[in-house]
């Protein structure tokens, strides 16, 4: 029968020298690790010989992943895999792991060793840092030179500026900002880059708006509530705008404006002329006084009624009185549109009278009897 004091003596003699350090630090050489695995195997064998459980004092401090996943005998006999540096890699999560840096690390590939860089950026790890990391994790790896390095990149996606402004506009609407206002940012950075493996949810907080000046500030967050969220502070001014009709092309004074000649564009209210025409109906059927530029708001004074009587044209002068109508021939001294007043010279007497355009080459004389021929028609 086995001496029952053998096991406690084994534990007392070897356990204190290895056990306490096993759970609190990593060994620097693979030889020590193999020695400890050998002790685990020997202890298991003794347990089978005695028919009971053997638990040396230091065995409780062996990492659970070693006890549960490693066969001690196979670990002693199987050759180790070569450890090689991965010079360039991409990471998706918030941490850089051993498997991102080295091949041949087995089940330790998921051990985090550093925080991952920000989304869309890269971290350059030099030879000194890599050596310390390899030693701290019992990896048999040494750099070939001091210039050896590893580049770890974290892929990212850029949140479109349009999406950021849409979320900002919605938040400012609660403060009374014009929903169709034009946003002008005063901050240089206007985009966010977030990890490619997280949802593109945009949040707005700390939003403030001054209606008297149109100025605002807000904090943009994406994705909302995530530990991986990126933040961007925006400030600027929102300016009211409105739609106004403008010519689609350059229009001359001889043309009559039609609906097909116009389009609506959005214009800042603070840049709109005070006498600008704001609806297309007020332009249709009129002619430019001189010419109109395409894409520019039109002032009221820039359009007139279409020219019905050209300058120098022969016109029929008409004087209306109760019970009779007198007519004469005259010559228009200026161009005029329907309903407009112009000067007309009587071709018979050379007298000049004021008349109102009543139709094509037809005018109504203002003052009865002046310059009108003596012929009358009933």
Distance CA 279, CA 284 (A): 9
pLDDT one-digit tens code per residue, 95-121: 999 999 999 999 999 999 999 998 889
Q: pLDDT class for 263, splitting at 50, 70, 90?
A: very high
Residue 56 has pLDDT above 80, yes or no: no
Which among 356, 305, 306 is positioned nearest to 330, based on CA atoms?
356
Q: What letters, b where the CB count within 10 A reaches 16 and e where it falls short, cover 296-309?
A: ebbeeebbbeebbb
Distance CA 250, CA 292 (A): 6
What pLDDT is attached to residue 378? 30
Residue 6 has pLDDT above 80, yes or no: no
For 260-269, the CB contacts below 8 A with 24+ separation are 265/295, 266/180, 266/182, 266/241, 266/242, 267/241, 267/242, 267/243, 267/297, 268/182, 268/239, 268/240, 268/241, 269/239, 269/240, 269/241, 269/242
Distance CA 256, CA 353 (A): 28
Q: pLDDT class for 253, splitting at 50, 70, 90?
A: confident
pLDDT one-digit tens code per residue, 136-183: 999 999 999 889 999 999 999 999 889 999 999 999 999 989 888 889
* Beta bridge mates, 377: 325
* Beta bridge mates, 344: 332, 353
What pLDDT is attached to residue 288? 92
Distance CA 172, CA 181 (A): 10
What pLDDT is attached to residue 180? 84
pLDDT one-digit tens code per residue, 29-50: 344 444 444 444 544 444 444 4
Residue percentage of the chain with pLDDT more than 90: 51
Between strands 352-359 and 341-346, the pairing is antiparallel
Average pLDDT (221-241) is: 90
In order of their start, the domains of the chain are: 6-77 (no CATH), 84-154 (no CATH), 159-239 (no CATH), 242-304 (3.90.1210.10), 307-377 (2.30.30.760)
What pLDDT is attached to residue 367? 62
Distance CA 196, CA 124 (A): 20
Q: pLDDT class for 343, splitting at 50, 70, 90?
A: very high
The pLDDT mean for the chain works out to 79
Question: Please, are residues 297 and 275 in contact by the beta-carbon 8 Å criterion?
Answer: no
Question: For residue 13, which phi and psi values (nearest 5 degrees)?
Answer: -80, -40
Q: pLDDT class for 12, splitting at 50, 70, 90?
A: very low
What pLDDT is attached to residue 279? 93
Distance CA 36, CA 219 (A): 55
Distances from the Cα of 261 to the Cαs of 89, 212, 249, in angstroms? 59, 37, 7
Q: Would you call 120 exposed, middle or buried from its count of C-beta atoms within 10 A (0-12, 13-18, 19+)?
A: middle
Residue 52 has pLDDT above 70, yes or no: no
Question: For residue 267, which phi and psi values (nearest 5 degrees)?
Answer: -130, 140
Q: pLDDT class for 336, splitting at 50, 70, 90?
A: confident
Residue 220 has pLDDT above 50, yes or no: yes
Distance CA 330, CA 136 (A): 110
Residue 8 parent element (H or E):
helix 6-22
What pLDDT is attached to residue 25? 35
- Rounded (10°) CA dihedral 14, 16, 20, 26: -40
Q: pLDDT class for 71, splitting at 50, 70, 90?
A: very low
What pLDDT is attached to residue 338? 84
Residue 196 has pLDDT above 90, yes or no: no
What pLDDT is attached to residue 127? 94
Residue 63 has pLDDT above 50, yes or no: no
């Amino acid at each position: 029968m086995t001496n029952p004091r053998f096991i406690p003596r084994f534990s007392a003699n070897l356990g204190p020298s290895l056990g306490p350090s096993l759970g609190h630090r990593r060994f620097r050489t693979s030889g020590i690790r193999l020695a400890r695995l050998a002790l685990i195997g020997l202890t298991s064998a003794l347990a089978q010989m005695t028919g009971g459980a053997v638990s040396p004092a230091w065995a409780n401090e062996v990492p659970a992943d070693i006890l549960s996943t490693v066969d001690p005998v196979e670990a002693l006999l199987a050759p180790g895999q070569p450890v090689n540096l991965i010079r360039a890699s991409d990471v998706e999560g918030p941490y850089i792991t051993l498997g991102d840096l080295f091949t041949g690390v087995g089940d330790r590939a998921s051990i985090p060793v550093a925080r991952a860089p920000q989304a869309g950026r890269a971290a350059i790890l030099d030879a000194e840092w890599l050596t310390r990391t390899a030693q701290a994790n019992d990896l048999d790896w040494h750099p070939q030179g001091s210039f050896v390095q590893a580049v770890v990149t974290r892929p990212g996606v850029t949140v479109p500026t349009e999406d950021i402004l849409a979320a900002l506009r919605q938040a400012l609407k609660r403060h009374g900002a014009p929903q169709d206002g034009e946003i002008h940012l005063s901050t240089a950075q206007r985009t966010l880059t977030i990890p490619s493996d997280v949802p593109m949810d945009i949040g707005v907080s700390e939003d403030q708006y001054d209606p008297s000046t149109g100025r605002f500030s807000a904090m943009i967050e994406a994705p909302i509530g995530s530990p991986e969220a990126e933040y961007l502070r925006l400030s600027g001014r929102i300016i009211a705008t409105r739609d106004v009709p403008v010519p689609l092309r350059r229009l001359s004074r001889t043309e009559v404006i039609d609906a097909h000649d116009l389009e609506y564009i959005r214009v800042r209210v603070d840049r709109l002329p005070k006498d600008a025409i704001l609806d297309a109906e007020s332009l249709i059927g009129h002619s430019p006084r001189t010419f109109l530029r395409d894409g520019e708001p039109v002032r009221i004074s820039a359009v007139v009624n279409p020219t019905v009587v050209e300058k120098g044209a022969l016109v029929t002068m008409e004087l209306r009185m109760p019970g009779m109508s007198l007519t004469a021939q005259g010559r228009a001294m200026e161009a005029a549109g329907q309903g407009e007043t112009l000067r007309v010279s009587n071709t018979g007497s050379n007298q000049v009278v004021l008349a109102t355009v009543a139709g094509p080459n037809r005018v109504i004389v203002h003052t009865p009897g002046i310059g009108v021929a003596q012929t009358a028609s009933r």
